[in-house]
Amino acid sequence: MTYAAPALIAADWGTTNFRLFLFGTDGEIIAKHTANIGLKNLGVLTFEQALLSVMKGDFDRPDLPILLSGMVGSRTGWVEAPYQSCPSSLADIAAHLVTAPSDRLKVRIVPGLCASADHEGLLNVMRGEETQLFGLGDGVFVLPGTHSKWAKVEGSVIEGFSSYMTGEMFQVLKRNSILGDLMDNDKDDEEAFKLGVDRAMADKSFLSLVFSVRTEGLFGHIAPESLSSYLSGLLIGSEIRAESIRHGIRPVGIVGDGSLSKLYKRALNHTGFTDVTIHDGDTAAAGGLWAIAQQGKLVL
């Protein structure tokens, strides 16, 4: 097996995740690497030290251009790459790459994006997801997670997006509120999940909906091991409800891996979104990094 010559090192570098790619001159991925050097785990290492620590083997190429996306470009990252406003094209993003201070490496960082939601003044931000989106093409995408994003890409332009505090809300309610007290031995209960989705689609008040996790448990209508699925359905259903109201039923791409993506697919299918595709998050990130590097002339 032969590879094109290495041309670019790139990484999706977030608060917890770090995914490193080595690209050949034709955009093929020659090598991949993940490491436990998310922003939360840097300890006393500088960003340059952390990056150098993983540039071994195939990646031992400090001469190559390096492109980074994600929280590494935030105010608390290596260097701030200020948010660009939506609508934003690949060319807009590539024109605003920021050079990180480093004596030994040639590092450019992808800016994050900001967007006003439908209600005036309600601001949304993303860092890293814009790169994944540029690796996917046109469509409506949901990027589930701590702070889920729903974005619309048209003609290779990210038109806008909304944020939902879904994943974090699930964690704090489960861990820190009275709702978690009744949960026990969590299992994936499809029926309880869909009940949650249905109620979120039908009802008007999130603060009332979440209180029902308590009463459903208290009256024994939902078993302790299924309450977590019910809460998850309420949360994901609330997201889908808002998007349905704003933008209607459309083909949707889910970006991400594992069980969370499957839950979103289940909820979307259940609520009438029949055309739903799951995209691998790593592949999307790699595709976007390569596209930005080309557009920004980091590679020929």
Q: How many other β-carbons are positioned within 10 Å of the β-carbon of residue 142?
A: 27
The whole-angstrom separation of Cα 284 and Cα 276 is 16
Q: Does 122 sit near its own copies (CB under 8 A)? A: yes
Q: How many other β-carbons are positioned within 10 Å of the β-carbon of residue 168?
A: 13
For its own copies, the closer of residues 44 and 219 by Cβ is 219
Using the contact rule CB under 8 A, the part of the chain among 62-70, 172-180, 252-260, 280-288 near its own copies is: 172-180
User: Whose CA is closest to 283, among 108, 61, 134, 113?
Assistant: 134
**Residue from the set 162, 226, 232, 295 that interacts with its own copies by CB under 8 A:** 162
> What does the per-residue mask of binding to its own copies show for 229-268, with x meaning CB under 8 A?
------x--xx-xx--xx----------------------
Residues 202-231 close enough to bind its own copies by CB under 8 A: 202-212, 214-216, 218-219, 221
> What SS3 state is found at 9?
strand
Contact 229/193 with Cβ under 8 angstroms?
Answer: yes
**Residue from the set 1, 63, 103, 175 that interacts with its own copies by CB under 8 A:** 175
Between helix 206-218 and helix 227-247 the angle, nearest 10°, is 160
Q: Which residues bind its own copies (CB under 8 A)?
A: 114, 117-119, 121-125, 147-148, 162-166, 168-169, 172-173, 175-178, 199, 202-212, 214-216, 218-219, 221, 235, 238-239, 241-242, 245-246
